[in-house]
Amino acid sequence: MAFEKTLLITGGAGFIGSHLVRLMVNKYPGYHIVNLDKLTYAGNLENLRDVEGSPNYTFVKGDITDAEQIQQLFARYGFDGVIHLAAESHVDRSIANPMSFIETNIVGAVVLLNAARFHWKNPEGKRFYHISTDEVYGSLGETGYFTEKTPYDPRSPYSASKASSDHLVRAYYHTYGLPVVISNCSNNYGPYQFPEKLLPLMIHNIRHNKPLPVYGDGQNTRDWLWVEDHTAAIDLIYHKGRTGETYNIGGNNEWKNISLVQELCDIMDGLLGRPAGASRQLITFVKDRPGHDRRYAIDASKLKNELGWEPTVQATEGLRRTAQWYLDNAAWLERVASGAYHVAHD
């Protein structure tokens, strides 16, 4: 079958990646979507059961740090584009084991960049899209927002590794003329998220009447982005974003951690038929994480003004959808939760 484009999506069996693969496979039947994933603890092919038989979808198990395999894949499939999501992404894990983040997030990005540079002798019609995080900007005070012009100030090994990969992507644009685009997003939430992350962890623990660990005083603030709003933005940026540019993607949905957990408790009480306030009794404050950024907030006006994107799912509606999905898919959550962390947020 002849395809009009062949796209490599790295990390496509993960949380955001699986939503993106599903979107691209279904929306663009003329595209061949190749999903490369190492299938670490956070990658799960069960997330993609509904598209695995699609004629325009191919899964490849592999490691982005394996330069030989990456070169072979470029030679075999002749990729027109790369959407790079594969990453070690959990702050607590980066504190415990920084080296794995350096290898995957920095070395892996360079391996992909080198392959694209080698194979795209004529860059016309090609695009290397690097997905990053708002954590590269550091921590905000009580007011203000991250913009695309905010200086980088990473505070954890995770955010430092992502900042490094962002800089390298830009360097390949300026040095080699590689056609790149970057986006930095806020905290994603929704179905299929690995349960070391805040919301699925809390949903799991509420179901089982286990403590709900909240770091520090619970006043750390994050902007929450519905995962399908994020993938819609990725689709737009890949196809219509300006080469060499960075776009911030935010949900316009700020919550203090403690307020978010309390709201989720109330939603879960309603869904589980528990007395009002019952799940809030499970909240337990624990020692704060080292280098825990106080507040993140995204100004996504550039993306709105240039490409017309805005988030569609807000606040309580998104939390309710998320909680309902995890309750409806309790068996999935139990299977992947068996090896998860007991304390986890970002």
Sign of CA dihedral 246, 251, 255, 261: negative
- Name the active-site residue from 135, 166, 266, 293: 135
Give phi and psi for 255, each to the nearest 5: -140, 135
Percent helix, strand and coil across the chain, each to the nearest 5: 45, 20, 40
Q: How many CA atoms lie within 13 A of 238 on its CB side?
A: 25
Give phi and psi for 51, each to the nearest 5: -120, 0
Tell me whether residue 134 is one of the annotated catalytic residues.
yes
CA-nearest of 264, 268, 265 to 281 is 265
- Name the active-site residue from 37, 63, 88, 134: 134
Tell me whether residue 158 is one of the annotated catalytic residues.
yes
Sign of CA dihedral 74, 77, 79, 82: negative
Maximal C-alpha separation, the chain? 64
- Name the active-site residue from 31, 57, 158, 296: 158
Residues 221 and 295 sit within 8 Å (Cβ to Cβ): yes
Supply the DSSP symbol for 197. S
Tell me the H-state helices in 36-66: none
CA-nearest of 292, 295, 182, 200 to 248 is 182
Residues 82 and 10 sit within 8 Å (Cβ to Cβ): yes
Question: In what helix (H) or strand (E) does residue 37 lie, and over which residues does it extend?
Answer: strand 31-37
Any idea which residue has 């695009």 for tokens?
127
Which residues are tagged catalytic? Answer: 134-135, 158
